[in-house]
């Protein structure tokens, strides 16, 4: 860039002594431009922001998928009731949280729920509508997966039984247990 020609470009011999102007890529991530719940990646000439896996958004603004008190596991948000209650109270609690009592419909979902529990806990399965045939509490449809305990007990409601490695056991609906609730897109 030639001072004698208004800084237009001018080819000259490479052996001449001249100043040089350097450029370097700034690391925009040093100024934390992304949402606190996003990862920043520095790129040449720019940077990118990507929300953490349990958040959604453009990276500059990220919203949690799950409500307060719920955490995401395998595409669903799960949360435990703060206090034990009878089965009907458990179902109502989950509804009040914008969800329903959890309905584990695969081994993966069962295992994800099991990992959250610290004692016997209601799930959304009963035979109240069809004595002897257990169905999902939300829509009374047939079970597509089961994990019954070796000693399934008796009663019209179902717990994941801490005494049997959290396999499913029947329990009186009037017993009191915490409940695990589930939120998410219910697509089967
Ligand atoms: Ca950059």
Give the Å distance between the CA of 51 and the centre of ligand 1. 18
Give the Å distance between the CA of 30 and the centre of ligand 1. 10
H helix or E strand, kind and range, residue 79 = strand 76-80
Give the Å distance between the CA of 18 and the centre of ligand 1. 28
Name the burial class of residue 126, with classes exposed (0-12), middle (13-18) and buried (19+) by CB atoms within 10 angstroms of its CB. buried
Instruction: Please give the Cα distance from 73 to 106 (Å, whole number).
Output: 13
Domain ranges of the chain: 3-63, 66-183
H helix or E strand, kind and range, residue 48 = strand 46-51
pLDDT tens digit at each of 188 positions of the chain: 888 889 999 899 999 998 998 888 999 999 999 999 999 999 999 999 999 988 889 999 998 888 888 998 888 899 999 999 999 999 999 999 989 999 999 999 999 999 999 999 999 999 999 999 999 999 999 999 999 999 999 999 999 999 999 999 999 999 999 999 999 765 44
Ion ligand 1 neighbours (CB, 5 A) are 25, 42, 47
Give the Å distance between the CA of 151 and the centre of ligand 1. 61
> Tell me: domain 66-183, CATH 3.30.70.3270, correct?
no
| 3-63 and 66-183 have identical folds | no
Give the Å distance between the CA of 7 and the centre of ligand 1. 27
| CATH class for the domain made up of 3-63 | mainly beta
Give the Å distance between the CA of 150 and the centre of ligand 1. 59
Provide the CA 127 distance to its chain's centre, in angstroms. 29
* Global confidence as pTM: 0.73
Q: Among residues 157, 181, 161, which one has the least CA distance to residue 171?
A: 157
């Amino acid at each position: 860039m030639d001072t004698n020609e208004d800084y237009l470009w001018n080819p000259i011999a490479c052996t001449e002594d001249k100043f040089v102007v350097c450029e370097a890529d700034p690391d925009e991530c040093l100024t934390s431009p992304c949402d606190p719940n996003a990862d920043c990646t520095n790129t040449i000439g720019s940077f990118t922001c990507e929300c953490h896996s349990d958040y959604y958004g453009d990276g500059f603004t990220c919203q949690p998928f799950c409500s307060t008190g719920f955490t995401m596991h395998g595409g669903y948000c799960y949360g435990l009731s703060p206090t034990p209650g009878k089965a009907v109270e458990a179902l109502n609690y989950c509804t009040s949280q914008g969800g329903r009592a959890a309905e584990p419909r695969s081994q993966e979902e069962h295992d994800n729920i099991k990992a959250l529990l610290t004692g016997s806990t209601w799930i959304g399965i009963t035979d109240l509508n069809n004595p002897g045939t257990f169905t999902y509490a939300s829509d009374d449809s047939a079970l597509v997966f089961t994990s019954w305990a070796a000693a399934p007990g008796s009663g019209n409601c179902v717990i994941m039984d801490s005494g049997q490695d959290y396999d499913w056991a029947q329990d009186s609906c009037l017993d009191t247990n915490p409940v695990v609730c589930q939120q998410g897109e219910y697509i089967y």
